[in-house]
Amino acid sequence: MDDHAGAGPAMRSPERWLAVLRIGVGVWFAKAIFTKLSITLAWGFLPVPTASDRWVHLMPTLVGKYAEGNPVGFFREFLQHTVVIHGPLFAQLTAFGEAVVGLGLVLGCLTTLAAGVGLFLVLNYGLAVQWQGSAQQGFHYMLISTLVVILATRAGRVWGVDGWVRAHRPGSWLARLPFG
């Protein structure tokens, strides 16, 4: 172990701890699979995922409450005049977005893309609720910071599909993508 004067021992396997962080954040996002998605039958026989009826109904109500006291004028207007009005569309987008981010981070597949989409979602969620107090601010600040670290370190290269593809199929199109 490295021991510098005045410093404790160096962290062992930091890339593995980043993978643990990635997986933990991924599980938090992946809960949307169970809380915001359901299966519906297209054309009466083809099962396809869709936002649950509960989420389609609840999301515009929540966003309306977040918008009421929001001091950020442009964002309040966006929430009230775009998101709430097109509630079913945004319910689908948030449900699928969170599920895809969660799966991408848990599996370490296209990790930088998943972390980037997660960062976009969390920035918007944070703008919606930041006025509600320090607990909301702190939660979103920590999640944003964590996603930036996951994105910057390409944390899917350890214990993830991104790393497996790079090791076993280095010439494949997936290994050449900048998203892993």
Name the packing angle between helices 134-153 and 14-30 (round to 10°).
130
Check whether 15 has a pLDDT greater than 60: yes
pLDDT bucket at 165, cuts 50 / 70 / 90: very high
- The pLDDT, as a whole number, for residue 54 is 97
Q: Work out the percent of the chain whose per-residue pLDDT is above 70.
A: 95
- Please state, rounded to an integer, the average pLDDT across all residues of the chain: 92
Buried b (16+ CB within 10 A) or exposed e, 107-136: bbbbbbbbbbbbbebbebbbbbbbbeeeeb
Paired tokens of 9: 């021992």
Q: Report residue 65: phi and psi, to 5°.
A: -65, -40
> Could you tell me the residue ranges of all domains in the chain?
14-176
- The pLDDT, as a whole number, for residue 7 is 60
Predicted TM-score (pTM) of the model is: 0.88
111-150 confidence digits (pLDDT tens): 999 999 999 999 999 999 988 889 888 999 999 999 999 9
Average pLDDT over residues 21-33: 97
Check whether 173 has a pLDDT greater than 90: no
**Distance (Å, whole) CA 29 – CA 58:** 18
